[in-house]
Amino acid sequence: MANNISITQGSGTTIATEQGVGSEHYQKVKLIDPTAGVTTPIGNTANPMVVAGNVASGSSDSGNPLKTGVVYNSTPPTLTSGQRGDAQGDVNANTKIALGANLAGEDLSADRLKVEHKYTPISYTTAQTATTAVTGVGVLHAIVIWGGTAGQITVWDNTVGSGTNYLVPPFTPGNVTIPVTVLLNESFANGVTITTTAATIITLLYRVN
């Protein structure tokens, strides 16, 4: 395809065109730096075509935003209502993202999240023979020994009182006159089954997943 054809008006001159699929011709237009006396083309590496928003950062907003980059400020800017602002970044050009409000938690005034431990209690005051306290998957947090008669205590990760899959192996408290809490925080996969050989007053604290 021919790209340059002569368009004659008067003596005629050559105009740069590009031929379309229907043999029509479209005139080529070269963008030039508008500075007087400068003929440097716009759009090459040395003189790129710049695309920018129509208002500066911190100015009153107008039109639609274009810029998608970030700007680093050692002191973050403070904008007023209705102003447009640049996206902020750190010294490595990582975009800064800040929550507009605290996340819901136990202590918003101190700006920290707190985890509250909640467990289900189940208590026994008489001797238990292979009693299944709970079935399923969960965590046995603790055993509280309140008093009663001292006797051997065994706790299984099982739904029956047998085997060696112990959460608490067989043991006998030496003193049940003073309440004692035995922290365990052991996970169980099948359930919690307990046997006590005497009327030891105990509470199991557990959580089912």
- pLDDT per position as a tens digit, 24-71: 888 877 666 667 766 666 666 666 777 677 777 677 777 765 556 788
DSSP, collapsed to helix, strand or coil, labels residue 57 as: coil
Residue 21 DSSP one-character state: T
- 176 close to 145: Cβ distance less than 8 angstroms: yes
If one counts the domains in the chain, the total is 2
Question: What's the domain range around 28?
Answer: 1-41
pLDDT value of position 5: 61
Kindly state whether residue 143 falls inside one of the protein's structural domains: yes
- For residues 171 and 154, what is the distance between their CA atoms, to the nearest angstrom? 7
Long-range contacts of 111-120 (CB under 8 A, 24+ apart): 117/141, 118/207, 119/205, 119/206, 119/207, 120/205, 120/206, 120/207, 120/208
The whole-model pTM stands at: 0.51
- Domain holding 126: CATH number? 2.60.120
Separation in Å, CA 48 to CA 39, 54, 175, 184: 14, 18, 86, 68
Kindly state whether residue 5 falls inside one of the protein's structural domains: yes
Kindly state whether residue 72 falls inside one of the protein's structural domains: no
Kindly state whether residue 94 falls inside one of the protein's structural domains: no
- For residues 119 and 20, what is the distance between their CA atoms, to the nearest angstrom? 77
pLDDT higher than threshold 80 for residue 20: yes
Kindly state whether residue 164 falls inside one of the protein's structural domains: yes
